[in-house]
């Protein structure tokens, strides 16, 4: 329980200081909107996140503040830490499990996504659960446990479909267990390949509806992803560990753990290599992003924990853990600063609220930008929305926008991109082009808040 408690405490440390950013804005507003509006939203984007949004709805009904909305991720991180300790104990020794879970807790990437209103921490906890259930299924050789494993995979896929790469690692683990004298859970148990295949079939049936529903949104969801570059490999290490020195130390410990971990190696090594599998796939079909492979970090810490546990005298293992924790402190401090997210939507809302006047209007570019921006709703509540027709579901055409500008003196543009690496919607948004082309309006000012920015258009005096 010690790593779980530590994960909770570290996750809660400074949790309300960083601003919500655009992805968190989507999660929060989607969870808080009327259920009919949510279904309408899922018709156009984010079907792959439907289960997560539904999970958040009871939380959003109580509060949409940073603490409440980020708390499920903190709890999931604590659950993952507990599960890692259990896996380490089952596959190696209690000491290895405790060191592995403690390493997991102090890694900056873990802390970063423990404070995120997205599903990544929950996905990681489910990945740990699925691995534990597979080990139990092998130990007990029980049909019910294999069915439970299949159910875990369904849950994993519905929370984040790309986390199903875990199945690749589990297939390797099962075949490894069948081919060697090193089984998954004890020397007397070996994986039942037939029941394992049956569990995968159950999982496939449960995930198929999501695959069908999400297939039509692939371009919308993934168009911003690019094939990985050689620099993405060290960047992943820095994302996970906080800096290059901790990354190198972690890799060295993983190598030691892989050679000394026994049954743990069969489970953790294929799992830990999944980021490289994702990168390889992304050379042809981009699906890789560091946060999408957070679910592989538990495997890295299992190997590194086994490496620490193998050091002699044993005190060296705990000294190594303290060293890692100390080296990550600067990164922990940085990720808890107010403006360290890709967008500072809190400051953007404060600026907008301070400078708006009665009668001002707002144009969101593209049509979904309100979801990505307006999580601090007080700043947007009194602005007349020009983006949508009165039914609030159909975006205005350029002609309709021009007509709607009659009587409007000031228009706030709320958008993102253009000068950033992601694909910019603003260049081909017909409403934005119509506003830029309108000779009655001139751009008075712009303010950047990370990826997101606002501009003020004012009607020219005759």
pTM strictly above 0.75: yes
**Distance from C-alpha of 138 to C-alpha of 143, rounded to nearest angstrom:** 10
Instruction: Taking residues 269-274, report their average pLDDT.
Output: 98
pLDDT digits (tens, 9 = 90+) for 115-160: 999 999 999 999 999 999 999 999 888 899 999 999 999 999 999 9
**Distance from C-alpha of 345 to C-alpha of 66, rounded to nearest angstrom:** 12
**At 260, is the pLDDT very low, low, confident or very high (cuts 50, 70, 90)?**
confident
421 pLDDT exceeds 80? no
Q: What percent of the chain has pLDDT over 90?
A: 79
Task: Report the pLDDT value the prediction gives residue 422, as an integer from 0 to 100.
Answer: 43
**Distance from C-alpha of 345 to C-alpha of 64, rounded to nearest angstrom:** 14
Length of the chain measured in residues: 462
pLDDT digits (tens, 9 = 90+) for 102-118: 999 999 999 999 999 99
**At 262, is the pLDDT very low, low, confident or very high (cuts 50, 70, 90)?**
confident
Report which of 416, 415, 384, 386 is spatially closest to residue 399, judged by C-alpha positions: 386
Rounded (5°) CA angle 161-269-127: 30
Question: Is residue 76 classed exposed, middle or buried when 0-12, 13-18 and 19+ CB atoms within 10 A define those classes?
Answer: buried
pLDDT digits (tens, 9 = 90+) for 18-53: 999 999 999 999 999 999 999 988 988 888 899 999
418 pLDDT exceeds 80? no
Instruction: Taking residues 313-342, report their average pLDDT.
Output: 95
Report which of 72, 60, 65, 50 is spatially closest to residue 121, judged by C-alpha positions: 72
Task: Report the pLDDT value the prediction gives residue 293, as an integer from 0 to 100.
Answer: 97
């Amino acid at each position: 329980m010690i790593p779980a408690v530590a994960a909770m405490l570290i996750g809660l440390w400074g949790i309300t200081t960083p601003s919500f950013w655009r992805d968190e804005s989507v999660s929060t507003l989607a969870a808080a909107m009327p259920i009919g509006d949510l279904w309408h939203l899922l018709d156009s984007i984010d079907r792959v996140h439907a289960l997560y949004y539904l999970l958040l709805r009871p939380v959003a009904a109580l509060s949409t503040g940073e603490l409440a909305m980020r708390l499920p991720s903190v709890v999931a991180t604590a659950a993952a830490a507990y599960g890692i300790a259990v896996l380490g104990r089952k596959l190696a020794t209690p000491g290895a499990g405790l060191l592995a879970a403690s390493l997991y807790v102090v890694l900056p990437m873990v802390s970063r996504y423990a404070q995120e209103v997205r599903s990544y921490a929950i996905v990681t906890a489910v990945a740990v659960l699925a691995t534990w259930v597979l080990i139990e299924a092998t130990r007990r050789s029980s049909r019910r446990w294999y069915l439970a494993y299949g159910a875990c995979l369904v849950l994993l896929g519905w929370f984040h479909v790309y986390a199903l790469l875990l199945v690749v690692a589990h297939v390797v683990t099962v075949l490894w267990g069948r081919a060697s004298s090193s089984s998954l859970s004890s020397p007397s148990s070996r994986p039942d390949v037939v029941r394992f295949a049956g569990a995968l079939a159950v999982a496939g049936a449960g995930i198929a509806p999501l695959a069908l529903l999400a297939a039509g949104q692939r371009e919308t969801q993934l168009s911003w992803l690019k094939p990985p570059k050689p620099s993405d490999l060290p960047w992943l290490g820095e994302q996970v560990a906080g800096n290059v020195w901790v990354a190198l130390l972690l890799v060295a410990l993983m190598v030691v753990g892989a050679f000394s971990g026994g049954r743990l190696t069969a489970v953790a090594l294929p799992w830990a290599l999944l980021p490289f599998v994702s990168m390889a796939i992304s050379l042809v079909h981009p699906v890789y992003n560091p946060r999408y492979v957070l679910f592989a970090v538990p495997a890295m810490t299992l190997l590194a924990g086994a490496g620490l546990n193998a050091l002699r005298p044993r005190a060296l293992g705990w000294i190594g853990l303290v060293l890692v924790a100390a080296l990550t402190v600067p990164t922990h401090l940085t990720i808890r600063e107010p403006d360290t997210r890709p967008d500072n939507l809190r400051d953007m809302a404060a600026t907008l609220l301070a400078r708006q006047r009665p009668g001002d209007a707002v144009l969101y570019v593209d049509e979904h930008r309100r979801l990505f921006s307006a999580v601090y709703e007080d700043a947007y509540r009194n602005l007349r929305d020009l983006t949508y027709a009165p039914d609030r579901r159909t975006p205005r055409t350029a002609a309709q926008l021009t007509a709607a500008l009659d009587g409007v003196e000031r228009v706030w543009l709320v958008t993102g991109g253009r000068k950033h690496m992601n694909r910019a919607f603003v260049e081909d948004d017909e409403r934005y082009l119509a506003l830029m082309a309108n000779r009655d309006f001139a751009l008075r000012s712009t303010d950047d808040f990370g990826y997101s920015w606002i501009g003020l258009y004012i009607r020219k005096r005759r």
